[in-house]
Structure 1
Amino acid sequence: MNPWHIDALELTFRLVLSFLLGGLIGFEREMNNHAAGLRTNILVCMGSTLIMLLSMYGFEMFADEPNVRMDPARLAAQVITGVGFLGAGTIMQKGLSVKGLTTAATLWVMAAIGLAVGAGFYYPAIICCALVFGSLRILNKIEHRFMAAGRSLILRIQIVKGSNCLNELQNYLTAKEVRVKNISIDNDEQFGKSMQQVTVTFVASNNKIRIALLNKLNRLPGVKSLKLEG
């Protein structure tokens, strides 16, 4: 059996399997409105599979040449670097948090799964895909439920100068035992001569407190806009 040859049926199977595995993870990402969704994950996975197939079988006609040394991993190794640049485009900083790390990591893992499928490493590819899907679906819920309480949040409020909003905010935060890390007031005229922006960095123990805080501030007459980050 020639190790450098693969028939059309096996080629088709590997590409279709790559399509299905990429689609499974992409569907989960698409349902949660992430930057890299269904099509992106499918393309990354299938592209990696095709490059692996090309690296292993695309130069079959040169396999018997005396001066040619076959290296199936050479092209495949470049995929990891290439996907790194693609993943970097999904990462951005928003307030105190960095968004897109999970999406970038997902693309990187999908490239690895695609390479595994292209090399005929089916079982690890399928198991890895199942574990990735489980971690994105299940661990995400666990993280939001048990780990979000200690995160710092940034609240930006535009208020009318001279209003009683700051006193109301201070009283509410004290009553709810919200841990405030920092408060700053910006009187820059870009907000308007009669406006000022108050930025509060705080830690709330649960989502109910955050929602109640926003509702409380939204009802105050001197508040013109609210923005919560983190």
Structure 2
Amino acid sequence: IGFIGGGLIFVRRDAVRGLTTAAVVWLTCAVGMAAGAGLWLLAVVVTAAHFLVVFAFTPLVARLPRSRYTQSRLRLTYLDGKGALRRVLAICTGRGFLVAELTMERHRDGHDPHVVSIWLVLQGSGEVQGLLTELVEVEGVRTVSSAEIEGSVP
């Protein structure tokens, strides 16, 4: 059982994935062994506690304030030559975010040659939705999207 659960844990760069899945596999095995040993009450209580944690704590965690180490990844497309990147970076830092990484890609495959796509990795505890709303209003910015990066707390 340990090998099955342990085989679900993957480490990529500094992010650990599959730890929760492995824990659920081990929990399922423990519940099965308890039920098989005739400890039905223990198996039912542990199963109920598991569902309480999974379904009740998830909305609670979503309401907690973000860690200052939490990273978010933004993708922006903007028109080059209008100062949009300068304003975007100023807004991000003005809202308390640290720009941890910036990747730029200029479109040269038949699209408008003045359109640039960038990926920003931001670190901070600010509100990302408010940041997105402000970035969409920047002159020259065409699109903005975001995703929180899992496993970003050191």
2:116 aligned partner, one-letter code = Q
Q: Please state whether the residue corresponding to 2:125 is helix, strand or coil.
A: coil
Compute the displacement of 1:203 (Å). 2.0
- Aligned partners of 1:191 and 1:106: how far apart in 2? 49
Structure (1 or 2) with the greater strand fraction? 2
1:201 maps to 121
Q: CA RMSD in A?
A: 3.3
Q: 1:120 to 1:188 in 2, by over 3 A?
A: farther
Which of 90, 102, 111 is the equivalent residue of 1:183? 102
1:218 maps to 136
Is 2:58 the partner of 1:122?
A: no
1:113 maps to 31
- Contact 1:182 1:200 (8 Å CA) reproduced: yes
- Aligned partners of 2:76 and 2:116: how far apart in 1? 8
Compute the displacement of 1:199 (Å). 1.7
- Aligned partners of 1:156 and 1:174: how far apart in 2? 16
- Contact 1:84 1:108 (8 Å CA) reproduced: no
> In percent, how many aligned pairs have the same letter?
22
Which of 93, 100, 104 is the equivalent residue of 1:174? 93
Unpaired segments ≥5 residues, structure 2: 150-154
1:122 aligned partner, one-letter code = W
2:80 maps to 161
2:20 maps to 102
Unpaired segments ≥5 residues, structure 1: 1-76
Compute the displacement of 1:152 (Å). 1.1
Compute the displacement of 1:190 (Å). 5.5
Total equivalences in the alignment: 145
- Aligned partners of 1:213 and 1:191: how far apart in 2? 31
Q: Please state whether the residue corresponding to 1:180 is helix, strand or coil.
A: strand
Structure (1 or 2) with the greater helix fraction? 1
* TM-score normalised per structure 1: 0.50
1:69 maps to none
Name which structure has the greater RCO, CA cutoff 8 Å, separation 6+: 2
Q: Please state whether the residue corresponding to 1:112 is helix, strand or coil.
A: helix
- Contact 1:191 1:197 (8 Å CA) reproduced: no
Larger Rg: 1
1:144 aligned partner, one-letter code = A
- Aligned partners of 1:191 and 1:182: how far apart in 2? 27
Q: 1:175 to 1:82 in 2, by over 3 A?
A: closer
- Aligned partners of 2:115 and 2:22: how far apart in 1? 39
